[in-house]
Amino acid sequence: MDIGGISGFVILALDIFAIYNVYQSGASNGTKLLWTLIILILPALGLIAWFFIGPKK
């Protein structure tokens, strides 16, 4: 595995973790769906945005 493959795998794992946490939050269903789409469409940027301004437990 090269560096690109490893970083891609790490981003995928963190995105799955972020989506799991989005659905564990107390946010409304619409907000959860919006965050999920942002994380899926923009994996790295969506992950960073979720970390700083996403819904919390």
- Maximum alpha-carbon separation in the chain: 40
Q: How many domains does the chain have?
A: 1
With bands split at pLDDT 50, 70 and 90, how would you rate the model's confidence at 1?
low
Domain residues for the domain of 9 are 3-53
Q: What is the pLDDT of residues 7-48, one digit of tens each?
A: 989 999 999 999 999 999 898 999 999 999 999 999 999 989
In contact, 14 and 44? CB cutoff 8 Å: no
pTM of the predicted protein model: 0.84
- Res 4: pLDDT: 77
Q: Is the pLDDT of residue 52 over 60?
A: yes
In contact, 54 and 18? CB cutoff 8 Å: yes
* HEC readout, 2-50: CHHHHHHHHHHHHHHHHHHHHHHCCCCHHHHHHHHHHHHHCHHHHHHHH
Structure-block tokens of residue 49: 């945005």
